[in-house]
Structure 1
């Protein structure tokens, strides 16, 4: 009876030795997958954050444009407000454009009018270094703000 017990224990020890190194192999296989997922989460977070910042910049640009009295001042004010907003949020754009629809300034006083600011920002993603991820993404946001109905316009 003792001999059978010893044989069984020896067999169990040999079975454990067969699994040696399996944790290292699992780690070597799973580590790139986990790192890739982390980089993908970082990229997604950066794009989401930048999209929110571009939306905020569009809102600031439309508001700044709506406070001006003429279309040319509105365009300049919107551009400056968008630049300040993006810079304050820490978003750097490879290329950006601010377009302001100032047709509301041509409407007579006493009638409702609006100004719309549209911002396009190309965010850089090349520093993440995840294969298959595009090097940049263009984010666009638009916002409309009311012009004071009874304020003079030129």
Structure 2
């Protein structure tokens, strides 16, 4: 084999391997972003459930959960295209001395457009639901 032919073989190998390597790295970045968003949305849902469980009425608990979720997502720099917060805060209206829970579900549409892989959608929806107990002796 002559020297010129060896150089051609290396460039053909690079032309085949390099795009596969770039796609693999892009896939890793996409999966990492989704995994981190899942963790952050779960933490935000937990913060929202805790904030809602400290309130005394269901309406105030819903707004407190929304505020806590928004604050938690902002602190963690999660860029959501849309965010939905649903709080089941009926437990805060129960009588003192009874055990109850508040649950908060958060859905975040995570932006993936900057990864720009051909087979990756522009956004992926990440959902998390967390519960928090209501203090049975609150207000005493």
Q: CA deviation at 1:148?
A: 0.8
Aligned to 2:118: 131
- Partners of 1:41 and 1:130 in 2: CA distance: 11
Aligned to 2:11: 24
RMSD of equivalent CA atoms: 1.1
Structure 1 segments (4+ residues) deviating >4 Å: none
TM-score with structure 1 length normalisation? 0.86
- Bigger shift: residues 70-79 or 32-41: 70-79
Q: CA deviation at 1:71?
A: 1.1
| 1:3-152 to 2 correspondences below 5 Å | 15-17=1-3, 18-152=5-139
- Partners of 1:52 and 1:150 in 2: CA distance: 31
TM-score with structure 2 length normalisation? 0.94
Q: CA deviation at 1:47?
A: 0.4
- Partners of 1:65 and 1:107 in 2: CA distance: 14
Say how many residue pairs are matched: 138
SS in 1 for 2:116: coil
- Partners of 1:45 and 1:78 in 2: CA distance: 27
- Partners of 1:78 and 1:105 in 2: CA distance: 13
- Partners of 1:117 and 1:138 in 2: CA distance: 16
Q: CA deviation at 1:41?
A: 0.3
Larger radius of gyration: 1
Q: CA deviation at 1:81?
A: 0.5
